[in-house]
Structure 1
Amino acid sequence: MAVPGRVIGGLHCTRLGPRHRTPVVVLHGGGPGCHTTADFAALLALRQDRAFLCVDLPRYGGSPLPGPELPPGRYSGPAAALDTLLDRLGLPGPIDVLAQSLGGAVALALAARRPERVGRIVLIGSTPAAFPGTTVDPGLGLRLRDALYAEPGPATMRALMEGVEWYGDRPSDELVAARLRAATTDVALAVATDPAARGADEDLGPLLGAVASPTLAVWGAHDPFSGPDYGAVLAGALPRGDLTVLSRTAHHPQSERPAAVAALVDAFLPVPHLEPA
């Protein structure tokens, strides 16, 4: 599962697939040890004919802690870093995005502030705003993080993944090990011991009306972080939002049912155009 990449402008990125096509940007979730080539490994393996740019957000995977030049917000800071990365790679946009949880909120933050940058978005289980009356457990992520770092190890990481990210099937030992390695780097441990290093909480609700990008929200029917009712409200708050709910999945349907999510990606994100010469 180890995939080589490089750090550009403070973000670790890995480019996969045909080099002559504009890649889909892929962004991971916010759980301990999450990083894109692990979170989306099963889906990426099914679509090796497509071009992807797998990005680790600040504080995650192979990316360092963000510098003081970035906005402090948990979504705004990574969105600004992603904006800079795309400039450095010569990808001015519009570019499509496939994102999980935290990554989906980052994609929406970028699309709201730089509409010319983002094309179409597929986001999975993202909770970027407070929607009163919806099913959501805002403290679940911190409880899981505290449990893992109280006793870090393969058994604890597996329990975290099987308890909330997966509904039925079991993650492979390889995937569990990849997540644990990423959760115990110097950067990850620094974030775990300093809540301020995780970035300031944000509510993107006031910005959602400015997201012009066609957006497909994909939800696991058994997602313990937020129910499909949250996904329906989110899709309704976006000017061009739609919702698809997948049964027999929790918070990581791209891992549990990669073929189903890949089919949604193929239908919603057309094969990217050729890059200009």
Structure 2
Amino acid sequence: MAAPAVAHALTGPPDGPVTLVLHGGGPGCHSASDFAGVLALRRDRRHLVVDLPRYGASGALDDDGPAFTGYAGVLAGLLDRLGVGEVDVLAQSLGGSVALRLAADEPHRVRRMLVIGSAPVPGADAGLGARVRADYYGGTGPDPEKMRRLIADLEWHDGDAVPEATVQARYRASTTPVALATATGGRGAPEDLTDALPRVAAPTLVVRGRHDPFAPTSYAAALVDALPAGDLAVLGRTAHHPQAERPDAVARLAASFLDPDPRS
């Protein structure tokens, strides 16, 4: 099976550690939009910004197997093709679960991870994502006002603060031919990483928005307890997308957790 086209960009200085940036799984999510604010605050850091297959500018993935495993295999192939060695990870929701799968199966690839709002094991409201997609793509189909409501109701704590540019970027990405073809299905089978988490050796900072509707803070605490080197940060006044709503706070966490210690 041919590898899918994976849209990616290397930003920042030409040398130095690489941070792999991975987006969430909602309609129209893609890394350049999801992490735009954080990337603008971290221009001194080298980032590999990736759109997972079926999202953003990437192609389809002809694989209905376990979703996290399938995406992790695609990422490993991309890192090999680019000649990128060990990476740090900055990821949200779906992207964080994919990174956890990669770190469990191929620990030599991942140094440290910051994962935001991810749900790699049962206990979160897994059905909420499916209901959101069905509502967004159902009826008369997607439109910018539906996208604004989705972001305001589920992803941001202060829905009135959602920028129009964010709405438009997500709407455009949600209506590409690939996105429409996989709108409510064909995105891989659900996967439970309970048995994989104890194999994640990379230090991992789990970040949760205090008002995330997809899972309570107690879910994030249990996830941290399942990781050999897990820590937890809870951000108030945020929901499922703190990297977009509060990029300054996420950038500070990334700087303190992912940047190399100058004393080492």
Structure 2 length as normaliser, TM-score?
A: 0.94
1:171 corresponds in structure 2 to 162
**Corresponding letter in the other structure for 1:109:** R
C-alpha contact (below 8 Å) 2:19/2:47 kept by paired residues: yes
Cα distance in 1 between the residues matched to 2:260 and 2:81 = 23
1:156 to 146, 151, 172: 146
**Corresponding letter in the other structure for 1:15:** L
C-alpha contact (below 8 Å) 1:22/1:272 kept by paired residues: no
C-alpha contact (below 8 Å) 1:9/1:84 kept by paired residues: no
Q: Which moved more, 1:8-17 or 1:75-84?
A: 8-17
Cα distance, 1:87 vs structure 2: 0.6
C-alpha contact (below 8 Å) 1:9/1:85 kept by paired residues: no
Work out the percentage of aligned pairs sharing the same amino acid: 53
1:5 corresponds in structure 2 to none
**Corresponding letter in the other structure for 1:104:** G
1:121 corresponds in structure 2 to 113
1:3 corresponds in structure 2 to none
Deviations 1:203-231 (A, max 9, x none): 00111000001000000000000111100
**Aligned pair 1:20/2:15, yes or no?**
yes
C-alpha contact (below 8 Å) 1:111/1:213 kept by paired residues: yes
**Corresponding letter in the other structure for 1:63:** S
Q: For 1:1-277, what aligned pairs fall within 5 Å after superposition? A: 10-68=5-63, 72-93=65-86, 95-131=87-123, 136-150=124-138, 151-168=141-158, 169-193=160-184, 195=185, 197-271=186-260
SS at match of 1:264: helix
Q: Which moved more, 1:205-214 or 1:140-149?
A: 140-149
Structure 1 length as normaliser, TM-score?
A: 0.89
Cα distance, 1:66 vs structure 2: 1.3
C-alpha contact (below 8 Å) 1:75/1:106 kept by paired residues: yes
Once superposed, what is the RMSD of the aligned Cα atoms? 1.6
SS at match of 2:234: strand
Change (3 A) 1:39 1:272: farther
Structure 1 stretches of at least 4 aligned residues deviating more than 6 Å after TM superposition: none
Q: Which runs of 5+ in 1 are unaligned?
A: 1-7
SS at match of 2:125: coil
Cα distance, 1:79 vs structure 2: 0.3
C-alpha contact (below 8 Å) 2:154/2:213 kept by paired residues: yes
Cα distance in 2 between the residues matched to 1:79 and 1:137 = 23
**Corresponding letter in the other structure for 1:127:** A
Cα distance, 1:272 vs structure 2: 9.4
Cα distance in 1 between the residues matched to 2:221 and 2:17 = 30
Aligned pair count? 257
Cα distance, 1:271 vs structure 2: 4.5
